[in-house]
Amino acid sequence: MGTVVDDAASAEFHAFFERHHAELARLAHLLTGEADAADDLAADALLALWHRWDRVRAADHPVAYARGVVANLARTRIRSAVRERRRVALFWSQREEKTENPDVAGVVDVQEALRGLPFRKRACVVLRHAFDLSEKDTALALGISVGTVKSQTSKGMAELQRLLGTQGPPLKVHAAAMVRTEGAAGRNR
C-alpha cells in the first residue's frame, strides 16, 4: 500500500517538475541575473520541494510555494555574492598598488606556473603569499581546515619551485603585480 502512494507521489512530482522546471529556472535567472546559476537554483528548489512533497502537494498553490523557494534561494545567493564582493574589495583596498621595478618576465613565469597548479593549491599559495593572509584567514576564505591550508600551500610552493626551477627559500609574490622578487638580493617581504 505504501508503495502505491510513493509511486503516485513520485509520478505527481515528476509531472510537476516537467511542467514547472523551465519557469522556475527563468524566475531564478531574472532574480539573480546569472544564467549559469538559474538551472542550479531551480534544481535546488525542486529538490527541496521533493523532500517536502507531501506538504507541497497538499498546498492550495504548489507553484506559488515553489516560486517562494526559488526566491529565497536567489536571495541567499545574492547576499552571498555581495558579501564576497565586499571581502574582495576589502582585500584590494588594503593592498599597496605600486611595485617598483617589476620583473615582467618573472611575472609571466609565475602566472604561468600558478595556472599549472590545481585550484586549491593555487588559491592557498596566492592567499598566503600574495595577499599575506594567515593560515586561519586563508582557511576561512576557502572554507577548509587550517591543516589543509598548510598542506596545500606546502605542496603548491614545492610544485611552483619545481615548475620555476628555483632553489632555496620560497619566492614571494606581490598581490598587485604578481611579481617574483629576488631572494638573493634580500628583497623578500
pTM value is: 0.46
Mean pLDDT for 27-35 is 87
Look at residue 111 in the predicted model and tell me its pLDDT. Answer: 83
pLDDT tens across 72-107, in order? 898 888 888 888 887 777 776 665 656 677 667 777
- Give the sign of the dihedral formed by CA 109, CA 115, CA 121, CA 127: positive
Residue 184: pLDDT over 70: no
Identify the H or E element spanning 14.
helix 2-32
Query: 181 pLDDT exceeds 60?
Result: no
Q: Is the pLDDT of residue 45 over 80?
A: yes
Look at residue 77 in the predicted model and tell me its pLDDT. 87
Q: What is the CA radius of gyration of the chain?
A: 24
Cell of 12: 505527481
Residue 1 clears pLDDT 80, i.e. is over it = no
